[in-house]
Amino acid sequence: YAADLYSYLDWAARSGLDPLAVTHRSFRRYLAELDQAGYTRRTVGRRLSAVRSFYKHLNAEGACQVNPAAAAATPKAGRSLPRRTAASDVERLLGQFDGLDDPVELRDAAFLELLYACGARISEADGTAVADIDFEEGSVRLFGKGSKERIVPLHDQALQRLRRYIERGRPALLRGHASSALFISTRGNDMSAASLRAVFKKRAAQAGLDPSLHPHDMRHSFATDLLEGGADLRSVQEMLGHASLSTTQVYTHLSLERMRDTLKQAHPRS
């Protein structure tokens, strides 16, 4: 909190105020200036907390009788929009496996395709068994939070990559070991969530993507792309396994942001 406190003391000095004599009214002006300067609610809340603690300390030491920050309400942090992966980046990530037939390549292609094809969480992909892939129905069974089960349809390309991996890549990786898990390590063991995250990071780097890209960003892209393609919110909620529709609604805001950008670029009066 040191930087936040120094920022406040600097403001007081520039405003010609004695920090020991700042009134509640003056402090409200300080908060208003932070808001006008474009600081996020999280930053304003953090600075408020630092100043409040500063005055509490002064009160305890007897150096000051008031706490101008005591009555100020801490701003509620707004829900941040999820980050999506650009369609071109998804194509680069998945396209790097085209024509490759090595068991590890087949596995990683199937894993990444699954993330984007059904919006699976990394923990759900980790918990998927071979028996959870239904090629006849064209779907995957996922077990989400609280072991809640859901069935999500898969498109043909995802099914093709999964079939190639299961039939040609997975047996080679098993090395005679017995396992029901879908994703198998090079040692023939079930892959952990940490191992799958490492696969994602490695393949994203090979595709030249942003190093901060996370597997969960594929889930965000899945949801946003569906909504932009005309899918109804309730169906997306069911496919994501969200207990509340309000959790899914955050993706409508992200979709709206893209539409707003399009409007600015294309509308003659924007």
- Catalytic entry in 84, 107, 219, 220: 219
Active site annotation includes 264: no
Active site residue 220: no
Digitized pLDDT (tens) for each residue of the chain, 270 residues in all: 788 999 999 999 999 999 999 988 888 889 888 877 777 778 888 899 999 999 999 999 888 888 998 878 777 655 555 667 788 899 999 999 999 999 999 999 999 999 999 999 999 999 999 999 999 999 999 998 878 899 999 999 999 999 999 999 999 999 889 999 999 999 999 999 999 999 999 999 999 998 888 998 998 888 888 888 888 888 888 888 887 777 677 766 655 555 556 446 654 544
Contact 133/162 with Cβ under 8 angstroms? Answer: yes
Specify the pLDDT at position 56: 92
Domains of the chain: 2-61 (no CATH), 87-211 (1.10.443.10)
DSSP at 145: G
Tokens 């995957």 belong to residue = 140
Q: What whole-number distance in Å separates Cα of residue 151 and Cα of residue 141?
A: 5
User: Phi and psi for 190 in degrees, rounded to 5?
Assistant: -65, 135
Please say if 145 is a catalytic residue. yes
56 is catalytic: no
SS3 assignment for 6-57: HHHHHHHHHCCCCHHHCCHHHHHHHHHHHHHCCCCHHHHHHHHHHHHHHHHH
Q: Which of 107, 161, 220, 242 is catalytic?
A: 242
d(CA 254, CA 6): 36
Q: One of 121, 161, 170, 220 is an active-site residue; which one?
A: 121
* Pair of tokens at residue 259: 């539409």
Instruction: Convert the pLDDT of each residue in 35-57 to its tens digit.
Output: 777 777 788 888 999 999 999 99
